[in-house]
Amino acid sequence: MNARRTGFIVNPAAGVGRCRVQWNDLQRSFRQAGNSEKVLFTSRPGEAVGHAQVLAAECDIVAAVGGDGTIFEVASGIMLAGNPRTFMGMVPLGTGNDTARLCGIHNAEQAAAALRGDHTRALDTIQIRCRAEGREVTHHALLYGSVGIIGQVLRQTTPRVKRVFGRHLAYPVGALRAIWSYEATEIRVICDGQISEKPTLLLSVSNSEYSGGGMRLAPDARMDDGLLNVNLCEPVGRWRAIALLWRMCRGRHLSHPQLRFFTARSVSAEAHPPIDVQADGEIIGHTPVKMAVVPRGLKVLVPEARRAG
């Protein structure tokens, strides 16, 4: 895979603005790889999806420069473009960086090595169809999709919280703040045809073991097994919710009496009134929502050691 054209989509706001500072130095090292390049910057949430759709028609590689939110948007754009020859690259410069780390990319040097090489990993995606601004929208998540308290967690994990507490603590701190204000909603959930309709604290559909800056929402989940890993949690009191959060951070929540953990290939949810839908750390719309696995639909460039992962 030589003389490839690479498109970079850079989110200057990622990592609470650190991405903007780091990109200029990193760009020089990527140029040394010998590939031609095109660089597009984002200025608002959601813009990377359109950028990725455009670049997928022009480039062999579309690389996301930012955090999990940027990677989510770029992956969505590549999948929506429908070009199976497009490879995705990841340069982790955000707060969480769970997606890149799960692909063996922990820093910019490993990202550059992956972009220079020809080692790929085919990942499942979660196709998420929900409502936003009066119309149906489609996204593709790599980590998780959810409804319930996670929406309030994201709203409480402000840029200031990310800046003060950093990658490992920002989302747990946001969750603690959310617990004191969130009220569980009755949600109608359908998993592979099985119906549940009851007050629900959290419905989380995971494609990966980790999310939210290292929380183990789905222990032993794999990103290429064709399955979704579902957490369905009933309401619990605030103090018990804090204890449950602590267990979820470490992947020790699966035996909790108010929580069901199982696998599925499709999950849908409805609530009245509609509630937020989240994907990979971003609020993308509201219910009703349908989430379904797309097996091994996205090819990602990875360091050589992760080729068989």
Q: What class, spelled out in words, does domain 128-296 have in CATH? A: mainly beta
| Structure confidence at residue 20 (pLDDT) | 83
- pLDDT cut 90: percent of the chain above it: 62
Average pLDDT over residues 102-130: 94
Query: Cβ of 201: how many Cβ atoms within 10 Å?
Result: 23
| Structure confidence at residue 167 (pLDDT) | 64
Tokens of 126: 């979660």
| Structure confidence at residue 31 (pLDDT) | 66
| Amino acid identity at 109 | E
| Structure confidence at residue 36 (pLDDT) | 67
| Structure confidence at residue 184 (pLDDT) | 87
- Give the residue extent of every domain in the chain: 5-118, 128-296
Three-state SS at 16: coil
- In tens, the pLDDT along 60-100 reads 999 999 999 999 999 999 999 999 999 999 999 988 799 99
Contact at 8 Å (CB) between 15 and 26? no
More confident residue, 104 or 154: 104
- In tens, the pLDDT along 9-64 reads 999 999 878 888 888 888 877 765 555 689 999 999 999 999 999 999 999 999 99
- In tens, the pLDDT along 154-187 reads 888 887 888 888 766 777 788 888 888 788 899 9
Tokens of 52: 């990725």
Query: Cβ of 15: how many Cβ atoms within 10 Å?
Result: 23
Which range among 113-127, 140-154, 213-227 has the greatest average pLDDT? 113-127
Pairwise CA distance, residues 185 & 209, whole Å: 26
The confidence band for 309, taking pLDDT boundaries of 50, 70 and 90, is very low
| Structure confidence at residue 128 (pLDDT) | 98
| Structure confidence at residue 307 (pLDDT) | 46
Contact at 8 Å (CB) between 115 and 30? yes
- In tens, the pLDDT along 195-212 reads 999 999 999 999 999 887
In the predicted model, what is the mean pLDDT of the chain? 89
Cα 39 to Cα 23, 31, 158, 233, 266: the distances in Å are: 11, 11, 28, 42, 36
The confidence band for 308, taking pLDDT boundaries of 50, 70 and 90, is very low
CATH (residue range 5-118)? 3.40.50.10330
Pairwise CA distance, residues 207 & 264, whole Å: 11
